Structure 1
Amino acid sequence: MKKNSIPYRILFFILITAAIIFWNFKAKSDLNGREEGLKITKWENFYSGDNIHFYYLNPQNENLLKLKKTYGLDKIIDEKKDQFDNSIKIMEFINGKVKAQSTSMTSDKNALEIMGAAFGGAKISDSDYAIIYEECLASVGINVRRGVLRSTDKKISGKSYFNVCEIWSDNYNKWIMIDGVNGSYMTDAEIPLSAVEIISKGIDAVKIAPLKGTKMYVKNMKSYYESYSISVDNNKYGELKSNSKLTFLKEGQLPRLETKEGFIQPTIFVNKPQVFKTSPKIDYVNTGVEKIPTLIFAKKDLKNDTKEVDNFTVGAFMNSYMLTKYFISVNGRDYIKVDTFIDLQIVKGVNSIKLSQDGKTLLREVIIEK
């Protein structure tokens, strides 16, 4: 396919890196002796718009239809009830059959396979739980997205992330987070909250329902409620539209490209909640209102890295499209013209990456220390 035959959307940048990101993430289960890893000291690159096209599971997919039929999920819900009430019903059904804990190993199976094992007594991870919960909900027509809560402190004991789901409620006209593993959701003034709202308010300031031992929940889970990531493309049973993540951080927090578990997938970082509020009920229309592009960093294959160099691919997107022409300056050198993507080496010391659309005017700057 010729490069100029169709506009480059986020998906093209991500598809190029999808395979290597998978192996990269698997291979780097720890920091390989790197106590700090890469450290971002400046990030003038937060996305502030809401012009992103999200994709969701189609309830008519044959896998979801089979899942619904096998477990009689349509008989569990009440079509007269709101999506939130029915999501709780599905959660209670799953939790009556499944034992999940964050320390269990994650599989690479689909929901039917996971549920078969889990209903047979096998313990599953929070990631596997989120997969079956997501697909069960989608099979009965509930808009749902899996999300990852993550600690920003790499020194915490255990893994740094925890999986949850968010469902869209017509009654509340918002996304609502449900922690199915712990059988809970959170409210403020009796209104169920999204993950971003919980992070913004602080887990200490919200009501955790319907749990009784909330102090223990806060003690065990508080460290996870520091950042939240969702996928742009939540439809696993179709042509991949995007492998990019969208991550919310509170004001003043700096992103991390590297966690305890390894380098993250290509990610758009935001510190404003608006884009996370986007309704799945509204047909996407590209408004084209954004004027400043945003950099996305994708880790390349680890095999070419050294103690002195980490290799990345960098792209810039705006209005849900990858730009085919922009300019990058590295460590104060002259701007160079970029044709869609540029290979970037993060070297020992301080690395400054600047973005311009005309080769003169600075629009974004990121500083990464290695």
Structure 2
Amino acid sequence: MKHKSLSLFVCSLLLSSCTNFFSAINFRPSPKVHEIAFSDDAPNPAYRFFYSDTLNNTYLRTLRQDYALDKLVATAASELDTIKLILGWSSAQWEHNGSNTPSKSDALTILEEAKNGSQFRCVEYGILAVASLNAVAIPACPLSIKTRDVAKVRSGAGHVVTEVYSASFNKWIFIDPQFNVMPLKNGIPLNAVEFQQAIYNKEALTLVNNDGLVDDDVAKSYLKWIGKYLYFFDITFDQRVGEEKKLQTFEGKTKLMLVPASAENPTTFQRSSKINYCIYTHSLADFYRKPSN
């Protein structure tokens, strides 16, 4: 949506003169984008991920029917068009509010409260986009991304986006439903790690959504802003949506975190919150697996 993109651009201009000051006192993250690399180790066969049954899930059926998602995506000419339609629809449901949380963290509750005027965080955009993509039978999961200085700063060390598994491209791809953007390189959608490496290497990128190309100035602002967050990446082992379930974990941990090969495992978020819920890996093959039930 234009208003969200313009807001991001304006805010970046207003805050640019303050960035170095807040970084120097470890209040806000450093804007620097660092080179990162990962191992090519084979995936650990003990790790299991759990995905929604998109055919028989009554919660997803309710979401699809009550919010006319079938009608929304009926005009899509491709899987990528379907993803962009859901991306734009999810982005348009409320204005961002980084301090507000819903009474329950599920898509139907979030949408109902948004209809009554509530506004939510990046987290809720991710929850909605994942559930809506699942409702039209496309696997997706929230992706938490964190800065290199996640343990040192007091604020702004994390962001939540969405990764979607594209059968057409046979890969996971990055979308940001808060800002209604999808990155492409040479016309190919990127996953979060590919996106980071392209930003670091200053490769030519385009940002798109269902309206077409994102305005060039807005795209530059977003790329300058998002790069610092693409350092640590984590996803849940249990990615099922709307099912009565016992949360599946691995060795008591709910998430798998992808850590650059040269980095230490982060154990603290913004100086005060313990990161005690993750299994850590340096392996891309561990992190990016083809979804399977």
1:19-34 alignment to 2 at 5 Å?
none
Distance 1:152 1:186 in 2: 21
Once the two structures are superposed, residues 163-208 of structure 1 have per-residue CA deviations (whole angstroms, 9 ceiling, x without a partner) of 1111111111100110011111112222100112223443543514
- Counterpart residue number, 2:266: 256
Q: Which has the higher contact order (CA 8 A, sep 6+)?
A: 2
Q: Please give the per-residue CA displacement for 1:292-340, whole angstroms capped at 9, x wherever unaligned.
A: xxxxxxxxxxxxxxxxxxxxxxxxxxxxxxxxxxxxxxxxxxxxxxxxx
Asked whether the 8 Å contact 1:82–1:169 carries over to 2, the reply is no
More helix, by proportion:
2
> In the alignment, which residue of structure 2 is the partner of 1:272?
283
Aligned equivalents of 1:208 and 1:158: distance in 2? 29
1: distance between equivalents of 2:227 and 2:76?
35
The amino acid that maps onto 1:214 is A
Residue by residue over 1:269-288, the C-alpha shift from the partner in whole angstroms, topping out at 9 and shown as x without a partner, is 222311223111x46xxxxx
Partner residue, 2:68: 72
* Alpha-carbon distance, 1:47 to partner: 10
**Correspondence list, 1:70-149, <5 A:** 70-78=66-74, 81-101=77-97, 103-107=98-102, 108-149=104-145
Across the two proteins, how many residue pairs are aligned to each other? 237
Matches of 1:80 and 1:215, distance apart in 2? 28
Structure 1: segments with no counterpart, 5+ residues: 1-34, 36-45, 284-370
Deviation at residue 265 of structure 1 after TM alignment? 3.6
Structure 1 residue 224 corresponds to structure 2 residue 229: yes
Per-residue CA deviation, residues 39-72 of structure 1 (Å, 9 max, x unaligned), is: xxxxxxx994312221112222222111111101
TM-score in terms of structure 1 length: 0.59
**Counterpart position of 2:175:** 178
Percent identical pairs in the alignment equals: 22
1:157 and 1:202, CA in 2 relative to 1: closer, same or farther beyond 3 A? farther
The answer to whether the 8 Å contact 1:82/1:170 transfers is: no
Aligned equivalents of 1:201 and 1:250: distance in 2? 16
Distance in structure 2 (CA, Å) of the matches to 1:81 and 1:269: 39
The residue that corresponds to 2:4 in the other structure is none
Find the counterpart in structure 2 of residue 58 from structure 1: 53
Please give the alpha-carbon distance, in whole angstroms, between the structure 1 residues aligned to 2:72 and 2:165. 18
Shift of 1:97: 3.0
Give me the TM-score of the superposition, normalised by structure 2: 0.73
Q: Is the alpha carbon distance of 1:84 and 1:100 closer, same or farther for their aligned partners in structure 2, counting shifts above 3 Å?
A: farther
Give the conservation status (yes or no) of the 8 Å contact 1:200–1:250: no
Larger radius of gyration: 1
More strand by proportion, 1 or 2? 1
More moved, 142-151 vs 268-277? 268-277
Residues 77 and 86 in structure 1, CA contact (< 8 A), matched pair in contact too:
yes
